Chain A
């Protein structure tokens, strides 16, 4: 079981959360976004084997979206925060 620290509620079990995907996918500007921008936003992913920034929905808690930086090989959670926060790289 992953233990995810919600920035609003504290440390909670993974079962309280719903995965909401890659936090790096940025929605293009409605006025200026090209077809290519939208294609990349909807379909293409970096899918790194290493650190991954992702959104989780605290669906059985405060119901807010949070951002999690996680190592997808070891499942270690490096840092969590609000979606607009910049997270630590874990290198101290």
Chain B
């Protein structure tokens, strides 16, 4: 792997940047691999990277039906945070956040991780109590959290309407200073380059059409580019986990839903933090290009379509404008949708299954992007050792049967309500 540095930049500048090598190979699939990961998004590539780096397993293929990073990795709103209440979630996401902090150096690839802070607004006295309690839980689990009164919130995001006239008056906010945003494509590219350099084959335009199982264990996959044998198979396919699991004749505690996001036209810097609201369920930040990036709720009905419907767009925009009246003058430039795995308790599933050598990583609901490095870390451990890492023991598939849900919202088995 060609190391990127100020010197390589200067050297290539002398030749008009025409001699940069490819960042990763584009190999044909081999007959057989030790491990096949289905899905070359952030999670799949991170898993391959850590399989090679932490566990020395390099005979690995990552199969991708489209192009690398073309699914939810390129569709999210790029927020990275670890502000959860329940210990299973908080410890896992805090580990992930720590990995984010060193990721650009580790990958020798700038993922543009910007620790601009994430503020979660509270709009009622009950929310103030709940947010402060959550902040205390975060601190107890080793993360950072700071309670801001409404004037301190205003100081960080001056365009917020903190008056009592607001549709949802702002009482304060829970800030996580170390949270922020990252360049989503760069995360996929960085992990792809790192995994490829350690010998992992990334095979694009290769759709998995079947999973071969003999005597209760996996032996390989059928793909659009022929059959490939493997000792172990792991899924990392975001909203399509249920679709892949059906190939192994499994039903999962998951529904697939479409989640939309949108950006305004680009404007000069006006919001240098991330603002989220639990009351309106909206999140907003400003990209480096100047666009305001917004998202809200699911469309709330089952969907495998990567596009949504207008009522939700209207609601997200209305919520944003109720908090930031100045943004009412902006035009919306682009909207898109991605398919979410909504699990029955709102928490992810990273687990081995009853089929030998078959592993599932899914159920990420709204929050898969921030988990990318942490997910790859614990999933690689689970696949390499055939036993979960201590950080994903709680995310086992059998927790639903056993009654050990990790239900952050306390909303029960209603996947679209998490």
Contact = CB atoms under 8 A, between A and B. Distances in A.
Interface of A: 1-2, 14-15, 19, 21-22, 39-40, 42-49, 52, 54, 70, 72-75
B311 A14 contact: yes
A54 B301 contact: yes
Interface string B250-279: 011111100000000000000000000000
B413 A72 contact: no
Given A1-B309, A40-B251, 14 more contacts: A1-B311, A14-B311, A15-B311, A22-B255, A45-B251, A46-B242, A47-B251, A47-B254, A49-B304, A52-B302, A72-B303, A72-B304, A72-B305, A74-B305
Contact of B310 (A1, A43, A44): A1
Contact of A73 (B304, B344, B400): B304
Contact of B240 (A43, A49, A54): A49
A47 B252 contact: yes
Interface in B270-316: 300-305, 309-311
Contacts of A22: 255, 302
5 pairs of A and B residues whose beta carbons are closest in the complex: A47-B242, A43-B253, A44-B251, A19-B301, A43-B400
B414 interface: yes
A14 B416 CA distance: 16
Given A1-B309, A1-B311, A39-B401, A45 B301 contact: no
Nearest to A17: B301
A43 B246 CA distance: 16
B340 to A, nearest CB: 12
Contacts of A54: 301-302
Interface residues on B, range: 20 to 34
B243 interface: yes
Contacts of A19: 300-301, 416
A73 B344 CA distance: 21
Contacts of A75: 303, 305, 309
A1 B299 CA distance: 11
Nearest to B242: A47
Nearest to A50: B304
B300 A45 contact: no
A54 B303 CA distance: 12
Contact of A2 (B240, B252, B309): B309
Contacts of A21: 255, 414, 416
A1 B242 CA distance: 26
A48 B243 CA distance: 7
A43 B413 contact: yes
A47 B256 contact: yes
B242 A45 contact: yes
14 contacts: A14-B311, A21-B416, A22-B302, A39-B401, A40-B251, A43-B253, A43-B413, A45-B415, A47-B254, A49-B240, A72-B256, A72-B304, A72-B305, A73-B304
B413 A73 contact: no
